[in-house]
Amino acid sequence: MFSRLKIFTCNANIDLANEVVKYAGIPLGDAEVFKFSNDNTFVKIKENVRGADTFIIQPTCYPVNDSIMELLIMIDALKRASAKNISCVIPYFGYARSDKKDQPRIAITAKLVADLITTAGASRIVCMDLHSEQIQGFFNIPVDHLTSAPIFSRYFKAHLNLKNVVIVSPDAGGTERARTMAKRLNCDLAIGDKRRIGNDDKSEILNIIGDVEGKTAILIDDIIDTGGSLCKMAKALINSKAKKIYAACSHGILSGNAIQNLEDSPIEKLFITNSISLAKEKKSKKIIQLSIAELLAIAIKKIHIEESISILFR
Ligand code: R5P
């Protein structure tokens, strides 16, 4: 049934790709991806893909520009090798935060990257927890937008005491995401009111809309990058007398001082997925990583046999 299904990966998250193919029950496609000493990337598909339904698993995470180039070059290699379909499984979509022209004379980089991927020859995108829903519209090919919410909620139900819990969005933009989780867990909702005065990094005041006093707060966000937003919000929650704080983010970028920020914060545990692999130096006792491999494998298999996957969007 799956003989024409081929799953390849570049270098961004090989562990995740290996886990996905185990769930899918097929071997990882044979390909070579490396850089010449002149910094040019080289990709060779080392098996027949003529007429095949191919998938490339490649989050466009650090090193972001290399990850994007590897993906583009692998799409081109598959196209020239006569693959029938080229679906790009991009669980973390780099440049997603540059999705609007909110300052004069700036680029909308998320749209630019979408155009590059489409022009290279992709026929479908499978992504997860995009920074904003409108990024789907940046592509003129089908986009299947998966959510990790069921993975987190299943874990919370099994491992956390969910009595007297409030789900918190650190900003108004993440309200929908947090509301979905609050519904899943049958909990209250609170929203952070993030105000910036002057310089982006400084003079920040945080208010909280909603009742958090005496409650266990679970902060929900799409991305933890430097950890600034979540850690400041966690402090504000403590000031508002929250009892205990957890945080859950789909994509653990954890750049700069993120680990130190997390260690110094009142956040007891940070739950992230493995959309981005966790480097050794980024390990922390506070971090628990949940796997999205089975979710991706189910999505890939369903797409391959042309079954509905809308159940994976909610
Ligand atoms: C912002 O709009 C995102 O949803 C995250 O809140 C942001 O990416 C987190 O960045 P950092 O961890 O650097 O504060």
- Using the predicted structure, report yes or no on whether residue 205 has a pLDDT greater than 90: no
In three state form, how does the secondary structure of the chain look?
Answer: CCCCEEEEECCCCHHHHHHHHHHHCCCECCEEEEECCCCCEEEEECCCCCCCEEEEECCCCCCHHHHHHHHHHHHHHHHHCCCCEEEEEECCCCCCCCCCCCCCCCCCHHHHHHHHHHHHCCCEEEEECCCCHHHHHHCCCCEEEECCHHHHHHHHHHHCCCCCEEEEECCHHHHHHHHHHHHHHCCEEEEEEEEECCCCCCCEEEEEECCCCCCEEEEEEEEECCCHHHHHHHHHHHHCCCCEEEEEEEEECCCCCHHHHHHHCCCCEEEEECCCCCCHHHCCCCEEEECCHHHHHHHHHHHHCCCCCHHHHC
Residues of the chain with pLDDT > 70, as a percent, come to: 96
229 lines ligand 1 (CB under 6 A): yes
Residue 242: its pLDDT value, please?
A: 97
Q: 121 and 18: one domain?
A: yes
User: Do residues 258 and 304 share a domain?
Assistant: no
Atom of ligand 1 nearest to the CA of 173: 2
* pLDDT score, position 1: 59
Tell me: do 125 and 201 sit in the same domain: no
Q: Are residues 25 and 67 in the same domain?
A: yes
Q: Which atom of ligand 1 is found nearest the CA of 255?
A: 13
On whether both 112 and 122 belong to a single domain, the answer is yes
Residues 269, 153, single domain; the answer is: yes
Pocket probe mutation, ligand 1, options 194, 225, 265, max atoms within 8 Å of Cβ: 225
We report the CATH number of the domain holding residue 193 as 3.40.50.2020
What is the mean pLDDT of the segment spanning 199-209? Answer: 62
Residue range 255-306, pLDDT digits in tens: 999 999 999 999 999 999 999 999 999 989 999 999 999 999 999 999 999 9
| Residue 62, domain extent | 5-147+293-313
Going by pLDDT thresholds of 50, 70 and 90, the confidence category of residue 200 is low
Q: Is residue 35 located within the same domain as residue 140? A: yes
CB of 221 sitting under 6 A from ligand 1: yes
Same domain? For 26 and 100 the reply is yes
**Is 137 in the same domain as 153?**
no
Confidence at residue 202, expressed as pLDDT on a 0 to 100 scale: 40
Number of domains in the chain: 2
Cα of 153 vs centre of ligand 1, distance in Å, is 21
Residue 245 CA to ligand 1 centre (angstroms): 18
In tens, the pLDDT along 19-51 reads 999 999 999 999 999 999 999 999 999 999 999
Q: Are both 284 and 306 inside the same structural domain?
A: no
Q: Check: CB of residue 250 under 8 Å from CB of residue 222.
A: yes
Contacts of 276 (CB under 8 A, 6+ apart): 13, 59, 61, 62, 92, 251, 252, 253
C-alpha angle with apex 122: 136 to 150, nearest 5 degrees? Answer: 45
Rounded distance from Cα 71 to ligand 1 centre (Å): 25
Atom of ligand 1 nearest to the CA of 228: 14
Query: How far is ligand 1, taken at its centre, from the CA of residue 166, in Å?
Result: 20
209 with 165, same domain?
yes
Say yes or no: 122 and 60 in one domain.
yes
